[in-house]
Amino acid sequence: MKKDLIGWKLGRVVTVVDRGFSSEDNIRYLQRAGGHYIAGEKLSAGKKAVEEVLSYPGRYKTIRENLKTKEVIICNSEARIRYVLVYNPDEATRDKMTRKKHLEHIEAKLQRLKELDGDAHTKTHCRIYSHRVYKQLLEVEAAFRTIKTTLELRPVYHRKEERIKAHVLLCWLALILIQLAEVQTKETWRDLRLELQKLHLIEYKSEDGRVWQRLKITQKQKYIFDTLKLEEPPLIWEICLRKAQKS
């Protein structure tokens, strides 16, 4: 994109990117030819500069209710970088309480686990490890990767605001449907997709015309349709008879 903009002969260009694009190599490329950028940073990425900014002393400035910011300027031999830290007290309190409840719940389960032995200990350990709540915490990042790749949230080719909003909304609805399908069938979306992709539509040709017929549904495919309360695809999709030619 930066190469394409060269031919536009623009003056001061400011590129805005999200956290998935803020690697050192990308940032350096955006600075070529005097370019500027605004980039989101991952707080837990382990970057030395970010850790330095987070530990920087100073008070937050209140912008409005539940919104505080702090500006930090980092100067090095190469460039001057301006960071803006954003803090929401209410959200921080909610996150703290949520973490506390999760930890108390897990600690209680682990404490009860110590009182068990043998098969009971093994089964309880497996049940805790595979519990849906804990698995969902690990699947959050995977969900965002899915929405950016499998569901093709990006790139967005629309220009009008209402079309961009509709595009994002449809991707989120698709992600919700995926989650519902996984919860109800107790199968991963990958396994569901692989199984349903085995169901093909076959075209038969003859002198009398063409017939489109699906393959026989497997037991697992039937389970998926029944569990999700979906109608099975019709056995005969379409029949196209050839018209008799006049003699």
Domain chopping of the chain, boundaries: 2-87, 90-185, 198-241
Q: Check pLDDT > 90 for residue 66.
A: no
DSSP 107-170: HHHHHHHHT--HHHHHHHHHHHHT-HHHHHHHHHHHHHHHHHTTT---S----SHHHHHHHHHH
Q: Give, in order, the Cα–Cα distances in Å from 200 to each of 78, 217, 224, 240.
A: 58, 10, 16, 19
Model pLDDT, residue 176 = 85
Whether the model clears a pTM of 0.85, i.e. scores above it, the answer is no
pLDDT at position 48 over 80: no
Measure the CA–CA gap between 218 and 118, rounded to whole angstroms: 39
How many angstroms separate the CA atoms of 181 and 142, rounded?
16
pLDDT band at 145 (very low <50, low <70, confident <90, very high): low
Which whole-number Å values give the CA distances from 105 to 13, 85, 99, 109, 135, in the listed order?
50, 32, 10, 6, 15
Summarize pLDDT for 74-110 with one digit per residue, the tens: 876 666 788 888 888 888 888 889 888 888 887 887 7
pLDDT band at 153 (very low <50, low <70, confident <90, very high): low
Which residues are CB-neighbours of 68 under 8 A, at least 6 positions away? 60, 61, 62, 86, 87, 88, 89
Return the residue matching tokens 């029949």.
239
Rounded Cα gap, residues 146 and 189, in angstroms: 10
Give the DSSP letter string of 130-147. Answer: T-HHHHHHHHHHHHHHHH
Cβ-proximal residues to 216 (8 Å cutoff; 6+ apart), any chain: none
More confident residue, 46 or 211: 211
E strand or H helix at 189: helix 189-196
| Residues in a beta bridge with 164 | none
* pLDDT above 90 for 213: yes
Least confident of 20-29, 85-94, 127-136, 194-203: 127-136
pLDDT at 119: 77
In the predicted model, what is the mean pLDDT of the chain? 79
Whole-number pLDDT of residue 217: 92
Partner residues linked to 211 by β-bridges: 204, 239
The strand pairing partners of 201, in sequence order, are: 214
